[in-house]
Structure 1
Amino acid sequence: MTDTPASRDEPETPDPAEPTPKGVFADSMAAAARRAGFSPAAEGEPISGHALLAAMGGIRGLVEAVLPGLVFLVTYTLTRDLIPSLVAPIVIGVVMAGLRVAARQTVTQAVGGLVGIGISAVLALLSGKAEDFYLSGFWINGVYGGALVISIIVGWPLIGLAVGFLVGDGVNWRSDPSKRRVLSLLTGLWAGLFLLRLAVELPLYYAGNVAWLGATKLLMGIPLYAPLLIVSWLMVRSVYRPSTPSVGEAEL
């Protein structure tokens, strides 16, 4: 049996079960986030401050991020001896990782922090300069800030991708002008945080002022991070409002 002209000209109907490129991309992002320990909100559920905080490590994660640097700064300020100042934060990192293992919690963040502490300690030990303990942080801020700026330029703001997964929206926010504008602005604010840290801390590093460098890193850590997290939550809620039932549905 031969095809008629009409059948030859008829466009092929896509298989609904076949994933689209956008769906494959969103599923890949979701799978990667799940492997990293992120928990998405249920479909239609508005993102909450608790969800944002949990997605970024929770209170314990914030403590694990701050405490080693604080211990290093205090120890070096009191002793002016590099070796005990490097050993102390490593011990703290091992203890925090051990506590997570004992509690049968995810150790990814603690182990990552411990690796970061180890790299910082090695850099300072190799150079013999206490300020090099903070050297890896400059690279991290530079990479994060640069990646966020580039993501805005190419039209895929990274904060939008993260929020899209957390609220179950995938990448649909890109077709909504208000969501895209807010999420692009948020990405710019986070990029500004990382780049501001570099602008303030690098001169202190080159001046070899360890005390002020360590104190500035602490002040530009949680005290800036937490308010920006709250602002992010409020801005996300402004474009992801919980759906309200219609009058007819409310009467049922």
Structure 2
Amino acid sequence: MSDERPGDQAAPDAPVPDGTEQQPGSASEVLGAALGGAARRAGLDPAKQSSTGHVVWAAMGGWRGLLESILPGLIFIVAYTVTIDPATGDGDLWLALALSVGTAAVFTIARLVARQPVTAAVGGLVAAVVAAGFAAFTGEASNNFIPGFVTNVLYGSAFLISALVGWSLIGLAVGFLMGEGTAWRQDKRKRRVFFWLAIAWASLFAARLIVQLPLYFADNVTALGTLKLVMGIPLFAPMVAVTWLAVRALYPPDPK
């Protein structure tokens, strides 16, 4: 069976005629710099001699980042579930939203007081407020998860499209971090690895939607919230590890 993939048609092995790379190259360099900068801030720099465990832990933000990612959602689903009225089948939506947003606010304030970077905490607070807004405006607890669905659609589509057109987002970020720009596109092995890594990330976001959307339409808030947590960090961490190991295999450290 041939190992030909869709991305190969958009990124052929043969040299591209002069001028055809120029326009997308300039845009790709800007995008690659943005993606690479974000990856470096998250501790994902293949040029550094870091262990896989250290990289995954740094990507999650350590204990504080882990708590900031999990606790607001966990508190929402616990508070809503324990207050469900058997007669109506509904929980106390306002209490669950208040506790969830309040928890995210506490994390943000704690970082401000400690004069630590607040980007992750503020992002979590904004996400909690936006999600709460959807639920509060409609009065439906399940609508608290709509922003998450939108995020998965956007990220999944971006990774999938980037792979299919031969400009993998993973490749763009790594190319910037390794100082080779878009030169990786001339290497068939690197193109193939970056293609499949982008497909793997797209599949992760797609899997979340496939599993969680039926629960949303069934208005099963407890199961939906639980699966969102289960398909969050527990799937994100292994995917980061696989990506890191694959990239390190492509760029082995120089022997000393």
RMSD over aligned Cα, in angstroms? 2.7
**TM norm structure 2:** 0.78
Residue in 1 that maps onto 2:131? 120
Q: Which has the higher mean CA deviation after the structures are superposed, 112-121 or 175-184?
A: 175-184
Q: 2:73 aligned with 1:69, yes or no?
A: yes
Q: 2:216 aligned with 1:216, yes or no?
A: no
Structure 1: stretches of 5+ with no match in the other structure: 1-19, 246-252
Separation of aligned partners in 2, 1:32 and 1:182: 18
Quote the sequence identity (%). 47
Q: How big is the shift at 1:115?
A: 0.8
Q: How big is the shift at 1:150?
A: 0.7
The structure-2 alpha-carbon separation of the partners of 1:35 and 1:203, relative to structure 1 and needing over 3 Å to count, comes to: closer
The structure-2 alpha-carbon separation of the partners of 1:171 and 1:103, relative to structure 1 and needing over 3 Å to count, comes to: farther
Residue in 2 that maps onto 1:38? 41
Q: How big is the shift at 1:34?
A: 4.1
Structure 2: stretches of 5+ with no match in the other structure: 1-22, 84-90
Residue in 1 that maps onto 2:170? 159
Q: Which has the higher mean CA deviation after the structures are superposed, 32-41 or 183-192?
A: 32-41
Q: How big is the shift at 1:36?
A: 8.7
Residue in 2 that maps onto 1:239? 250
CA contact (8 A) 1:22 1:171 kept: yes
**TM norm structure 1:** 0.79
Separation of aligned partners in 2, 1:136 and 1:28: 24
CA contact (8 A) 1:97 1:110 kept: yes
Question: What is the aligned counterpart of 1:140 among 143, 151, 154?
Answer: 151
CA contact (8 A) 2:97 2:132 kept: yes
Secondary structure at the counterpart of residue 193 of structure 1: helix
Q: How big is the shift at 1:48?
A: 4.8
Matches within 5 A, 1:1-252: 22=25, 26=29, 29-30=32-33, 34=37, 38=41, 45=48, 48-49=51-52, 50-51=54-55, 53-55=57-59, 57-79=61-83, 80-245=91-256
One-letter code of the match for 2:125? L
Q: How big is the shift at 1:105?
A: 1.8
Q: How many residues are aligned here?
A: 226
The structure-2 alpha-carbon separation of the partners of 1:173 and 1:52, relative to structure 1 and needing over 3 Å to count, comes to: farther
Q: How big is the shift at 1:52?
A: 5.6
Residue in 2 that maps onto 1:15? none
Q: How big is the shift at 1:59?
A: 4.3
Secondary structure at the counterpart of residue 156 of structure 1: coil
Separation of aligned partners in 2, 1:229 and 1:61: 15
CA contact (8 A) 2:31 2:172 kept: no
Q: How big is the shift at 1:146?
A: 0.6
Separation of aligned partners in 2, 1:155 and 1:93: 38
Q: How big is the shift at 1:75?
A: 0.6
Q: How big is the shift at 1:45?
A: 4.2
Structure number with larger C-alpha Rg: 1
The structure-2 alpha-carbon separation of the partners of 1:238 and 1:33, relative to structure 1 and needing over 3 Å to count, comes to: closer
Q: How big is the shift at 1:57?
A: 4.0
CA contact (8 A) 1:41 1:166 kept: no
Q: How big is the shift at 1:44?
A: 5.1
Secondary structure at the counterpart of residue 41 of structure 2: coil
Q: Which has the higher mean CA deviation after the structures are superposed, 62-71 or 125-134?
A: 62-71
CA contact (8 A) 1:47 1:236 kept: no
The structure-2 alpha-carbon separation of the partners of 1:240 and 1:43, relative to structure 1 and needing over 3 Å to count, comes to: closer
The structure-2 alpha-carbon separation of the partners of 1:56 and 1:23, relative to structure 1 and needing over 3 Å to count, comes to: farther
